[in-house]
Amino acid sequence: MSRQRQDQDQQRSPRLHQPEQPPSLPAWMLDPPPPRRTAGDRIVEVLLTLPGAAALRRRWQVWQGRRRLYQRFPNTMKVAGFIVSFAVTLGLVMAVYVLLPRLS
- pLDDT tens sequence across 62-102: 888 888 888 889 999 999 999 999 999 999 999 999 988 87
The amino acid at residue 46 is: V
Q: Residues near 69 by Cβ (< 8 Å), separated by ≥ 6? A: 77
Q: Which residue has the higher pLDDT, 15 or 89?
A: 89
What pLDDT is recorded for position 14? 58
Global confidence as pTM: 0.40
Domain range annotation of the chain: 69-104
The amino acid at residue 69 is: L
For the chain, the first-to-last Cα distance in angstroms comes to 87
